[in-house]
Amino acid sequence: MTENIDNKLGQKIATLRAAHHLSAADLAQRCSCDVSVIEGLERGELPPSLAPLIKITRALGVRLGTLMDDDEAFGPVYINSDQMEEVTRLKSLQTASDAGDLSYFSLAASRPSRHMDPFIITITPSGETDHELVGHEGEEWLFGMEGCIEIEYGKETYVLHPGESIYYDSIVPHQVRAHEGQNAKFLAVVYTPL
């Protein structure tokens, strides 16, 4: 993700936090995360990942899309295939974890007041063998597009091939990662209640 997008997202977090009269430490406590995560995100120094952002938005009482939205245009959001290739490079969240390098492209960044957040996510494997499972409120639907992904969900592991889908409650600790060291791409729709 570009530094400019990190800074915009960080500025939104800082603005919302200040509007709630919270210090970075207060927000970190509400999110059950380290204060350095909040400070790093606000300064644009940490690559944002989905799980902490969901916790932050819950603590601030806003949608995940509020942090990622570029403007407040109403009506449908239409993205053609040419725009998809270009915008993927400009408006994605990227994060590295034991799941590999993940790049999130929001398919509805310009749609305000939405209840779902659709993403195209690409995974490049990291080679890590330890897997940290994380739960958060909401639901997720994943649809395999290229390569295979593994979804470790509680005590079960599912392999999602292209053309297959899975729907689950996000509160159960889970992790999505590349399967057998291959690159993969999938569509994810995340619902996080306010």
59-101 per-position pLDDT tens digit? 888 877 777 765 444 456 666 676 665 444 434 454 445 556 7
* Whole-model pTM over 0.85: no
Residues whose CB falls within 8 Å of the CB of residue 16, separated by 6 or more in sequence, listed in order: 60, 62, 66
137-176 per-position pLDDT tens digit? 889 999 999 999 999 999 999 999 999 999 999 889 898 8
DSSP 33-58: S-HHHHHHHHHT-S---HHHHHHHHH
Residue 76 backbone phi and psi in degrees, to 5: -70, 155
Beta-bridge partners for 95: 102
